[in-house]
Structure formats: structure tokens, C-alpha cells
Amino acid sequence: MRCVIFTGAGDNEVVEIVERPDALAGDEEVLVAVSHAGLNPADLSQRAGRYPAPPGFPADVPGLEVAGTVVACGSKVTRWRVGERVFGLVGGGGMAELVAVHERAVAPVPASLDAIGAAATPEAFITAHDAIRTRGRLAPGDTLLVHGASGGVGTAAIQIAVLAGARVLGTVRSDTAAGLVRSLGGEPVEDAGFAAAVDRLTEGRGADVILELVGAVHFPDNLAALATRGRIVIVGVGAGNATELSLLGMMQKRAELHGTVLRARPLEEKAAALRAFEREVLPGLVAGRLRPVVDSVYDVSDVRGAFDRLEGSGKSGKVLISFAP
Amino acid sequence: MRCVIFTGAGDNEVVEIVERPDALAGDEEVLVAVSHAGLNPADLSQRAGRYPAPPGFPADVPGLEVAGTVVACGSKVTRWRVGERVFGLVGGGGMAELVAVHERAVAPVPASLDAIGAAATPEAFITAHDAIRTRGRLAPGDTLLVHGASGGVGTAAIQIAVLAGARVLGTVRSDTAAGLVRSLGGEPVEDAGFAAAVDRLTEGRGADVILELVGAVHFPDNLAALATRGRIVIVGVGAGNATELSLLGMMQKRAELHGTVLRARPLEEKAAALRAFEREVLPGLVAGRLRPVVDSVYDVSDVRGAFDRLEGSGKSGKVLISFAP
């Protein structure tokens, strides 16, 4: 099978495409034939040597998600048959033509999604759903503020929140991003001075949940933009890690700050996130009310170009690579 | 009735004792005759002019808790009769011989507590319980780390956590405090270098819940001392408000940081905290397995001395004033 590997730590010079022996399904695993694979910011951290794969996953093959067709089932698999389409999460090794994944870490792909749509879905929608619903407890009538609204997780979060009866504000830095946020049912807000805009738009109430996909640059304004009893959920820190925080401000708003990441979770917690995704997100995908946003698809031979696109600004949704002929 | 007032913002020079017209019970309130009243760090903030009373409570009479005997009931009161002993929370006005309080913001005083024990209980035990159980979700088998272990809330938290089947570590700065923590079922830990001690004592696992009653001085070590998926609950910031926080560190531990305060809550949330206290804490008080720790009782004529004691170091439990003849 072909797969993408990192030959060491660095930038694109460590990215190669190689032939490896085909992956094999363990007893409780399905083997998935992959035509398209999604890239994620965490892959960039791994490329830089800052985010090694957890034990039990290929150490040098990036890729945190999988979508495709089951081509083999381990002896103890009960949920799936050969020929069914599945998608889900892996701790690494997703950028390969064959991926072995635990049967409880995948969900069924709805007929509404083609191969590209399926590949663009799992990490974005599971991460967004876990962050805003499971961690942030977003409820109908709440206001969600999304920082990083035009990426894969951001575009998924806007749609999930709108479908859940929430109002969604998304910070943007361009007219293109503003149009994207609007097209998904959200309200674009200028990134510069967002706290004042949120205050005005919510008539002083603030956002009940803030999804932070960008980083420390939005602090301390995030606390200013938060409603009493609001929840800030940190999923990405590409634009800054260390921030000054007012503990008294946290007390006065009775605020919650949650850090979260999917990759490092043990199987049972990943599986729980998949079941929650099946329950609350999959019906919206089946009905076509939720749709993954695809920025671009690169042939695997140009995977370095895909990484450049992922790293740059101005994306609208997911960046994918294709193994298809 | 006699009451303590703040004549302005400052230190003890603004503290006076005056005669005021007797408080009156509103329709849904009980009027409580008070013999002893508890002091809290929040009273010091109010004295300094930084923490005004919420609307609906006396603006210049401090005191956030009440314990005593019902001497009158409003026309719509259903839970209480004259002569019953109650304790609970008020948004202000607690340092008076008569206090009107909503009937749902008080709970019954167990026979096991005398007037001093009753006065030392509500704010300490309700705050501690709300912080470690309702916010921190402390469970049997968890490890709780308490910063500020020898004060009113700290001594209550240690006991509530031990009774709930948790292991309790409490940071201390003196042998007296260490003895107090030990006598309540906790394990004292030197405040200096506590993160390394927690790491050693928990064999690298860390604390599941950290109750922060002191402030920013314990950051960033609090994050280092926290277990994966742990919760830090901020209740006091007397020793520092602003702290630098690693958002990536929050993500890697999938940590939660909660700010909380009781005083600013609306009636329904205060009442909910009282009901949770009745359910989970009151049985332990009735059985004598939980006991308020009293540092000192000052006659109301020496209320300035009581404030000095509250502000100083080396306390063991609650500081009270007495209106008794």
C-alpha cells in the first residue's frame, strides 16, 4: 500500500510517499480501503516533531481520521461486513491506502456523502461536536462564538450549533470567510475587536460557549465576550499557547475553561465520542442538513502542496489528499 | 437591632456597630434571630470597596451567612415555623441580630450543632460542597488537593471529601496547619514545591480535583499537579488574581478550570446549592461525622479584632462574632 510518512522532524522536506506492506486487521478491527484522507493541524505538529503518535499506532504515518470501504474484518468484529462504508478516528496512520481501525471507533457513512465528503467529515464533525456539545454543553437558545470559523472544525461547528437551535457568531478576517460563515447559517464578526461586537450583538449577555480553534491571541477578550456561566473550549492553539488569565474574572462570570483533544484518548473514550456523534450528528448528515466543507483535494503525489495549503491562511473547510488513480 | 456596618471603603476604620430598625420578613422570608455570625474573605473585599452587595440586600451591612432561630415567618412561608433553627446564605446583611432570608435559602440546623457550630457551618460547608462536588464532580477514589486547607472552607472541604471516599492532600505552611489537616483525615503537603509532592504521593497520576482558595500563586504548578481530565475550581484569589496559563497544557491534560462564587447567584441557584447541601452534607453533620472548625469567637464590640484575625495568617477554621449578652 502507498502511504505518507514523516522521515524525521521538520517541514515539508521530511514528507515522503512510500510503499509499505498492507495493513492488517486485528481481531476487533476492520480494514478500510481509503480513497481520500483528511489533513489536520495536529499533523503539522507531528511533522514538527512536537506531537508523537500514541502507543499502538504507526509512529511515522500521519493522519488522524479514516473514511472508506471495509475490505476485511477481524475475527471478533460484530458491527460491520465487507463492503460497508465507514468513517472514524485513528491515533495515527490515516494517510494510507489501507487503515486498520477498531470497529467501535467508526460509524456508518450515510449515502448522502460521496468519497470526498466522507473523508472530510470525521475529525471535523466529531471534534466540533465533542467540543461544543459534550464539553461545552451547548443548548438551544445559547449563543456560540467560533474562532477559526472557516476551517474544517469551524465550519462543522457552525452547522452543528445552528441545527441544535443555537445562534452562531464566527470571527473572520476576510470577505470570503464572512460569506462562508453566512452561508452556513452563522453571523460573521470581525476578528479585530470581537469582544465589543459580541457584547453589542448579544445586548450585553455574551456568548454561552466559545470554541477556540486559534489560540491565545483571543485572550483576555474571550473572557470579556463570555456570558455568565459560559464555557470556553480550547481545541487549537496554533496562534499562541501561553495567555494571561484573570482568575477573579473567571469567578465573577462563574466561567469554565476546558482544554480538549481527541487523539490522546483511550479507545473507550474515542468510542464514546463516536457514539455521541452517531446519535446527534449523523442524522443531520443523513438528511443533508449538515454537509462537510471541502477546501481542496490534492493528489497524494502532491501531499507537500496539501500541507502548504493546510498551513496557509484563507482556507474554506477541509484539505484532503487523494489515493484514487 | 445591633448590626455591623461599613461607613465607606477602607480598612477597619470604616467598621462600626450601630442600632438599626429591626429587619422585617418579606412574604417568602423567615426572620432569624442571630447570636453568632461568621466572617468571610468576601467581607474584606466589600470593606475595601471592591465587592458591593447585590441588589436586594443591605448595601452597608456585611455578612454572607446566617444561623439562628426563626422568630417570624412571612405570609407565604411553608417550610418553617417560629422556634425552628435554620442556617443558610444571604447576599449581605448577615452581621446583624436579626436577618431576613428567603425560606428556600436556608436548611435545618441539626441538634448536634450548638449556636457557635451552627454559625460556623453554612458558608464554609456550602461553598466547599458546591465547589468540590457540584463544580469539581469529586468522586470516590479521586484525589482532592486543597490550597488554603486550614481556613473555614478548607477544613470543610477536607471533611466532605474524606466522607465522600476521596483521598485529600492539603497544602500547609506550618506544623499547626499540618496537624489540623491530619486531624480531619487529610494528608498535609508543604506549600512550597507542592506539585512534586503531589506527583510523588499519587505515583505520577496527579490530583483529580484542585480546590484553589488562595490564588494565582499556585499557578502554573496547579496544572502540573493535575491528573488527566482533572478539574481546578477557583474559589478565592486573595493571594493573586492574574496568572499565566498554558492553553496547550490544558488541552494535553483535557483539564477544566472553573471559577465560582456563591454570593452573586440568583435565588434559584442559591436555593439549588442549599438543596444539594441538605442532600449530601447535612446527614454527615447530623451524624457528627462532619464538624465545623472554629478558630475564634469575638464579641461584636471587638468586630475590628475579628476582621484583623480573619485577615491575618495562622487561622484554624472560622472566625465568628457574637451578639450574645
With CA atoms as reference, the chain B residue closest to A251 would be B259
Distance of alpha carbon A177 from alpha carbon B96, whole angstroms = 59
Task: Give domain status of residue A192, yes or no.
Answer: yes
> Rounded to a whole number, what is the distance in Å from the CA of A238 to chain B's nearest CA?
10
pLDDT tens per residue across all 325 residues of chain A: 999 999 999 999 999 999 999 999 999 999 999 999 999 999 999 999 988 998 889 999 999 999 999 999 999 999 999 999 999 999 999 999 999 999 999 999 999 999 999 999 999 999 999 999 999 999 999 999 999 999 999 999 999 999 999 999 999 999 999 999 999 999 999 999 999 999 999 999 999 999 999 988 999 999 999 999 999 999 988 778 888 899 999 999 999 999 999 888 889 999 999 999 999 999 999 999 999 999 999 999 999 999 999 998 888 999 999 998 8
User: A111 and A173 in one domain?
Assistant: no
User: A244 and A143 in one domain?
Assistant: yes
Task: Give domain status of residue A144, yes or no.
Answer: yes
User: A254 and A132 in one domain?
Assistant: yes
Q: CB-based contacts of B243: which residues, under 8 Å, 6+ apart?
A: A244, A245, A247, B216, B219, B220
Give me the sign of the Cα torsion angle B53, B55, B60, B62.
Answer: negative
Which residues from B are below 8 Å from A215, CB to CB?
A: 247
Residue A83, class by beta-carbon neighbours within 10 Å (0-12 exposed, 13-18 middle, 19+ buried)? Answer: exposed
Record: contact A256-B258, CB cut-off 8 A: yes
Of B241, B246, B251, the CB nearest to A247: B241
Distance of alpha carbon A249 from alpha carbon B259, whole angstroms = 8
| Phi, psi for residue A110 in degrees, rounded to 5 | -70, 155
The single residue listed with the C-alpha cell 474524606 is B162
- Residue B176: Cβ within 10 Å count: 13
pLDDT tens per residue across all 325 residues of chain B: 999 999 999 999 999 999 999 999 999 999 999 999 999 999 999 999 988 999 889 999 999 999 999 999 999 999 999 999 999 999 999 999 999 999 999 999 999 999 999 999 999 999 999 999 999 999 999 999 999 999 999 999 999 999 999 999 999 999 999 999 999 999 999 999 999 999 999 999 999 999 999 988 999 999 999 999 999 999 988 778 888 899 999 999 999 999 999 888 889 999 999 999 999 999 999 999 999 999 999 999 999 999 999 998 888 999 999 998 8
Task: Give domain status of residue B23, yes or no.
Answer: yes
> Rounded to a whole number, what is the distance in Å from the CA of A52 to chain B's nearest CA?
13
Distance of alpha carbon B320 from alpha carbon B128, whole angstroms = 18
Record: contact B242-A241, CB cut-off 8 A: no
Q: CB-based contacts of B287: which residues, under 8 Å, 6+ apart?
A: B112
Evaluate whether B188 touches B177 at the Cβ level (below 8 Å): yes
Radius of gyration of chain B (CA): 19
User: A139 and A109 in one domain?
Assistant: no
The single residue listed with the C-alpha cell 456563591 is B262
User: B241 and B157 in one domain?
Assistant: yes
User: A131 and A161 in one domain?
Assistant: yes
User: B107 and B26 in one domain?
Assistant: yes
> Rounded to a whole number, what is the distance in Å from the CA of A251 to chain B's nearest CA?
4
Which residues from A are below 8 Å from B237, CB to CB?
A: 247-248, 251
Measured CB to CB, residues of chain A less than 8 Å from chain B are: 212, 215-216, 234-235, 237, 240-261, 264-265
User: A152 and A180 in one domain?
Assistant: yes
Say which CATH number the domain at A70 has: 3.90.180.10
Task: Give domain status of residue A199, yes or no.
Answer: yes
Of B242, B251, B264, the CB nearest to A260: B251
Record: contact A258-B250, CB cut-off 8 A: yes
pLDDT of residue B264: 85
User: Residue A167 pairs with which residues in a beta bridge?
Assistant: A143
**Chains A and B: how many Cβ contacts under 8 Å?**
100
The single residue listed with the C-alpha cell 477557583 is B234
Of A312, A305, A308, A285, the C-alpha closest to A128 is A285
Half-sphere exposure of A286 (CA within 13 A, CB side): 11
Task: Give domain status of residue B103, yes or no.
Answer: yes
* Mean pLDDT score across all residues of chain A: 95
Half-sphere exposure of A255 (CA within 13 A, CB side): 25
Of A246, A252, A254, the CB nearest to B242: A246
Distance of alpha carbon B270 from alpha carbon A195, whole angstroms = 29
> Rounded to a whole number, what is the distance in Å from the CA of B237 to chain A's nearest CA?
7
Q: Which residue range is the domain that position B42 belongs to?
A: 2-121+286-322
Task: Give domain status of residue B102, yes or no.
Answer: yes
> Rounded to a whole number, what is the distance in Å from the CA of A189 to chain B's nearest CA?
23
Of A235, A250, A226, the C-alpha closest to A127 is A235
Which residues from A are below 8 Å from B243, CB to CB?
A: 244-245, 247
pLDDT of residue B241: 84
> Rounded to a whole number, what is the distance in Å from the CA of B90 to chain A's nearest CA?
17
Which residues from B are below 8 Å from A252, CB to CB?
A: 259, 261, 264
> Rounded to a whole number, what is the distance in Å from the CA of B18 to chain A's nearest CA?
31
Residue A314, class by beta-carbon neighbours within 10 Å (0-12 exposed, 13-18 middle, 19+ buried)? Answer: exposed
Which residues from B are below 8 Å from A153, CB to CB?
A: none
Which residues from A are below 8 Å from B244, CB to CB?
A: 242-245
Q: CB-based contacts of B78: which residues, under 8 Å, 6+ apart?
A: B103
Evaluate whether A246 touches A224 at the Cβ level (below 8 Å): no
Record: contact A261-B249, CB cut-off 8 A: no
User: A87 and A60 in one domain?
Assistant: yes
For the stretch A227-279, pLDDT in tens is 999 999 999 887 788 888 999 999 999 999 999 998 888 899 999 999 999 99
Helices (H) and strands (E) in chain B, counts: 11, 17
Of B323, B275, B234, the C-alpha closest to B35 is B323
Of B241, B247, B264, the CB nearest to A234: B247
Distance of alpha carbon A296 from alpha carbon A92, whole angstroms = 22
Run of H or E residues at A228: strand A226-234
Radius of gyration of chain A (CA): 19
Half-sphere exposure of B192 (CA within 13 A, CB side): 2
- Cα B248–chain centre separation: 32
> Which cell goes with B168?
485529600
Which amino acid, one-letter code, is at B139?
Answer: A
Select from B231, B244, B251 the residue whose CB has the most chain A CBs within 10 Å, as the one to mutate to test that interface. B251
Record: contact B257-A250, CB cut-off 8 A: yes
Task: Give domain status of residue A281, yes or no.
Answer: no
Dihedral through CA B201, CA B206, CA B212, CA B215, nearest 10?
A: 90
Of B87, B230, B91, B244, the C-alpha closest to B169 is B230
Strands B2-6 and B15-19: antiparallel
Which residues from A are below 8 Å from B260, CB to CB?
A: 251, 254
User: A170 and A196 in one domain?
Assistant: yes
User: A255 and A129 in one domain?
Assistant: yes
Which residues from A are below 8 Å from B254, CB to CB?
A: 258-261, 264-265
User: B252 and B140 in one domain?
Assistant: yes
Which residues from B are below 8 Å from A54, CB to CB?
A: none
Task: Give domain status of residue B273, yes or no.
Answer: no
Of B135, B245, B173, the C-alpha closest to A240 is B245
Record: contact A247-B255, CB cut-off 8 A: no
pLDDT of residue B101: 96
Give chain A's domain count. Answer: 2
> Rounded to a whole number, what is the distance in Å from the CA of B135 to chain A's nearest CA?
9
Select from A237, A248, A256 the residue whose CB has the most chain B CBs within 10 Å, as the one to mutate to test that interface. A248
Say yes or no: ipTM exceeds 0.85: yes
Angle at alpha carbon of residue B271, lines to B266 and B274, rounded to 5°: 135
Angle at alpha carbon of residue B52, lines to B50 and B53, rounded to 5°: 150
Record: contact A250-B235, CB cut-off 8 A: no
Of B235, B242, B247, the CB nearest to A241: B247
Record: contact A234-B251, CB cut-off 8 A: yes
SS3 of residue B150 by DSSP: coil
